[in-house]
Amino acid sequence: MTTPNTPVTLILHGAAGRMGQALLRAAPALRGVSIGAALVRAGSDLVDTPVRRIAGPDAADLDFQAALDPDVRADALIDFSSAHAFDAALALALDRRIAFVSGTTGLTDAQHAALAHAAHAIPVLWASNFSLGIALMTRFARMAARALGDWDCEIIEMHHRRKADAPSGTAITLGKAVAQGRSCALDAQAVHGRQGLVGARPPGQIGFHAVRGGDVVGEHTVMFASEDERIELTHRASDRDVFARGALVAAQRLAHAPPKSYAMDDVLGDCD
């Protein structure tokens, strides 16, 4: 992987969305990163609109476009679009032989398989959460689960009232890390909420609890509890732009990396 601050040019696919605009706002503050194209869907009202009109005066000096200019040279593509538009984004990265970073949700099994196949040709990274803090927390959760194998584990997440899915993708990622640390399958140990006369807690369970309310950006806690002590790992996001910054760092690190499937833990690197 490239070192931090390596000069790279990025293509943003899904630039009209909330995350796309956050990426455009965050990019100027990241040393070495420049935006070469801001792509939106065909027919969007933003086509030919200056990016700075939407993302502010510090954003890239270019217009939103529905198709990539053949003359644009780029090192990586960041996709935050939709499951419907994902295939075109991946095809574009493969055609250009550039790194592909995506946070698009709702992908089908076939699309995840296509992503895995693409990793034979280009570096790819898909993540449910691009926060570097969450990446480190996931590593800690895996380590704690391995060291405290007989402790009870519960995962609690809280988001704004508009979030439609539960538990969050990040909570599931944390649960998978706990299961990996315990060398077990998450599906076999996960329990989602409890109600009624459920009896004593069986050993090995990984509990999930989703809280919704207000405008909470995102909060995740992984709790490990024994008979007489408790450890809690908690991450709170106070600004959605934190996810944009993480995605930009990921694309910068993956540019020119060997073809394979990467995770945010790889972006974090060795911090022992």
Was 104 annotated as part of a binding site?
A: yes
Q: What is the 3-state secondary structure (H, E, C) of the chain?
A: CCCCCCCEEEEEECCCCHHHHHHHHHHHHCCCEEEEEEECCCCCCCCCCEHHHHHCCCCCCCEEECCCCCCCCCCEEEECCCHHHHHHHHHHHHHHCCEEEECCCCCCHHHHHHHHHHCCCCCEEECCCCCHHHHHHHHHHHHHHHHCCCCEEEEEEEECCCCCCCCCHHHHHHHHHHHHHCCCCHHHHEEECCCCCCCCCCCCCEEEEEEECCCCCEEEEEEEECCCCEEEEEEEECCCHHHHHHHHHHHHHHCCCCCCEECHHHHHCCCC
Was 193 annotated as part of a binding site?
A: no
Was 128 annotated as part of a binding site?
A: yes
Was 96 annotated as part of a binding site?
A: no
Q: Tell me if residue 163 is catalytic.
A: yes
Was 183 annotated as part of a binding site?
A: no
Q: Which residue out of 13, 117, 159, 235 is catalytically annotated? A: 159
Was 170 annotated as part of a binding site?
A: yes
Distance (Å, whole) CA 209 – CA 5: 39
Was 208 annotated as part of a binding site?
A: no
Say how many C-beta atoms besides its own lie within 10 A of residue 48's C-beta. 10
Beta-carbon contacts of residue 3 (< 8 Å; ≥ 6 apart): none
Was 53 annotated as part of a binding site?
A: no
Handedness of CA 185, 123, 269, 80 (dihedral sign): negative
Was 175 annotated as part of a binding site?
A: no
Was 3 annotated as part of a binding site?
A: no
Was 199 annotated as part of a binding site?
A: no
Q: Tell me if residue 120 is catalytic.
A: no
Was 108 annotated as part of a binding site?
A: no
Was 221 annotated as part of a binding site?
A: no
Q: Which residue out of 13, 84, 112, 163 is catalytically annotated? A: 163
Was 5 annotated as part of a binding site?
A: no
As annotated, the active-site residues are: 159, 163
Query: Could you tell me which residues are annotated as the binding site?
Result: 14-19, 41, 103-105, 127-130, 160, 169-170
Query: Could you tell me which residues are annotated as the binding site for NAD(+)?
Result: 14-19, 103-105, 127-130
Query: Could you tell me which residues are annotated as the binding site for NADP(+)?
Result: 41
Query: Could you tell me which residues are annotated as the binding site for (S)-2,3,4,5-tetrahydrodipicolinate?
Result: 160, 169-170
